[in-house]
Structure 1
């Protein structure tokens, strides 16, 4: 009986379906190629979990660079100007388009390996797109750097809203092309000027952040994977943190680390906050003897977009430091509520152009939520450790809490003094009431 049942329920496998399935499983992944974890892959699609934080921070609003948003109808306005910039360069250099096309074609494999997603363009079509985008960027930086002339009524420079969106779009992780490609095009089209491409890039973006020329000079030969990476690296100070926190670097395996408390709770514990106006970068946070030095940061749409794209790059690209991730996690711990943002604003650390204090706190909490983070490997591990040690010092914390409770405001202080005086007067009155009685009994 069981044998008959097995025979009756036997399933015949369609060999054609097997062939189709074998073809499908052998087809290489397109949305995240199998080598996307390698050091050559540095331009990524943004994970949905991060897109949901602020979609417009990742999607280009005015210009498409590279293949991910190529052909987007909403970005055609600036696309039409790329040919004009290319023509300007060809006219100035006297070189043919073939020269620049051949450069890109020779880099075809290297370019494709830079993207986490497979590019559905042939070598010639890819070269056309990359020449247009690459030359547009290089000429843009040259025009802003005043290395080449610009028409006084050029809308890209004359219309403020165009420049504002352009700066943000060029720092979005999905809107990048390999820096080595830009460097090759730049070298082929350069004249006798000795300025580096990196210096022109940093000068262009400096219109959004306004750093001192001496700071930019330090990074004029900075290497990077693309524009976002180069600009990100220009905020990473290379000074030796070991000299500031040697105890947090030696023997770290035996040390414990905890994330800091919110700013208002640290304030109650006696931690003081001060804007570090001498720092070259907002990343240069220090803690000394109860004083937390944090460089001033202007929270606006530019920084919001920049932070999100830097954190995304650091989370997707394994061969880079995690400075921005560390900074976002640290600030997210401090800015837990609108009261925390208000406290740091009062100390000139946070300049809020973002919206309400609640909006700033919500932003940092959303970005820092659920992202992998290792305190022991972070550049702020010394600050984490020092803050934790300070807050564990019971005597200092109790004294600070006492002062905050009874002397935190003038009215509380007056009330505490009045209560103390009343208590003292009551004690004196009691003393002079009781003392004569005992004194007279003693004489008897």
Structure 2
């Protein structure tokens, strides 16, 4: 006689699926523990792209704008609406497989969402001047907000979908050289993040816009992080290192040097210049979450943030890097917000492997600080030169001691 519970379990287990059902999965829901620390950093404010935030009542207003853009895109397209929709329909199984969450939309519903969203983004990227009486290009705050929504990990469509639609719509113009590839167009749209002048990658290696931004920040030569599960520990913050004689300076970019490249030699810690602004937290959080979910052994941005978090513990540590020209802060409010920003972003991110170069820098900084001469210098600065009053008193004491010594010598010589 069969057990009823066993029968129910068997039926249940037959429907079971792994968390990420295919290797194509690259668009993830942000883990709850990370999301709860800053809900707004992962949630679109103006526009929904893809199915994960589709239907959000806060974003309904923009749906009319998206459809308006889509209409003008179809009018300019060399391909018919039927051909364009057929293209998306053929890609639907691949599109659905890209998401970590089950998409509660029918095939037709998902095709409509993806088609309108992709047409909107392509038309927006091509300039917006094509769209008569459009409000987005005329409102700088709106285009800034839309572009920020496009970097959110949950607000993505696979890059190959954009390329398929774009290539079909503008086939002759692409062949004739009038239009560049969609990858070139996208890199141009995110040019403010491309400080290294990185050329667009080839071969479909970019998953989506969040992945593209990560690519723009990666070192030119992608070094493999250390495979040892060693914690990243500097031991001393920037202000403490300064007391021990460490100098901070800007590591000026040149060929082969990216913004993540740090160097420490001869007591000088070189860090490339960075600008911290109001949207920096959103950018870092989403790229780091992508690394956590998709690049567990290749997390360059997370390592970089982890290093800066340990270097900049307090407001006065941030001041050290600001005065050295390493950090320029345009955050609304005081520059001291920088220290809190890095702490908040790094919270709840735990990586098993750390960039070998950063580990070596940490070890070298600890060795430098522990050197007897540097330790004594740090003690002197901490105990006698921390404030203007202490500094003045210490100098006065040294001068008095020297005068007393000279007077004593003179007295001896006169005898």
Deviates more, 1:227-236 or 1:279-288: 279-288
CA apart distance, 1:320:
6.5
Partner SS, residue 108 of structure 2: helix
Q: Is the 8 A contact 1:203 1:216 kept in 2?
A: no
1:387-426 per-residue CA deviation (whole Å, 9 max, x = no partner) reads 2333333334434554675567776554334323323444
Partner SS, residue 130 of structure 1: helix
| CA 302–433 in structure 1, closer or farther in 2 if over 3 Å, else same | closer
2:315 is the alignment partner of 1:338: yes
Distance 2:158 2:193 in 1: 25
| CA 408–139 in structure 1, closer or farther in 2 if over 3 Å, else same | same
2:176 is the alignment partner of 1:195: no
Match of 1:267 among 242, 262, 280: 242
| 1:27 aligned partner | 15
Q: Is the 8 A contact 2:246 2:267 kept in 1?
A: yes
| 2:116 aligned partner | 132
CA apart distance, 1:378:
4.7
Task: Choose 1 or 2 for highest CA Rg.
Answer: 1
Distance 1:238 1:123 in 2: 40
CA apart distance, 1:22:
4.3
Partner SS, residue 114 of structure 1: coil
Match of 1:62 among 23, 46, 51: 46
Q: Is the 8 A contact 1:256 1:385 kept in 2?
A: no
Match of 1:157 among 124, 133, 137: 137
TM-score by length of 2: 0.86
CA apart distance, 1:69:
0.5
Q: Is the 8 A contact 1:285 1:294 kept in 2?
A: yes
Distance 2:179 2:310 in 1: 45
Name stretches of at least 5 consecutive residues in structure 1 with no aligned partner. 1-12, 243-247, 440-444
Distance 1:202 1:42 in 2: 20
CA apart distance, 1:428:
5.3
Distance 1:330 1:340 in 2: 13
Partner SS, residue 175 of structure 1: coil
| CA 382–218 in structure 1, closer or farther in 2 if over 3 Å, else same | farther
| 2:81 aligned partner | 97
| CA 376–327 in structure 1, closer or farther in 2 if over 3 Å, else same | closer
The structure whose residues are more often helix, as a share, is 1
1:44-74 per-residue CA deviation (whole Å, 9 max, x = no partner) reads 1111221122211110000000111011121
Match of 2:281 among 299, 304, 319: 304
Q: Is the 8 A contact 1:61 1:169 kept in 2?
A: yes
TM-score by length of 1: 0.80
2:209 is the alignment partner of 1:224: no
Name stretches of at least 5 consecutive residues in structure 2 with no aligned partner. none
**RMSD value, Cα:** 3.2
| 2:164 aligned partner | 184
Aligned residue pairs total 405
| 1:316 aligned partner | 293
2:27 is the alignment partner of 1:43: yes
CA apart distance, 1:173:
0.5
Match of 1:420 among 391, 394, 398: 398
Q: Is the 8 A contact 1:50 1:367 kept in 2?
A: no
Distance 1:176 1:159 in 2: 23
Q: Is the 8 A contact 2:69 2:131 kept in 1?
A: no
1:15-42 per-residue CA deviation (whole Å, 9 max, x = no partner) reads 3x6655544443335xxx5335x54211
Partner SS, residue 279 of structure 2: helix
Distance 1:88 1:379 in 2: 50
Partner SS, residue 380 of structure 1: helix
CA apart distance, 1:296:
2.2
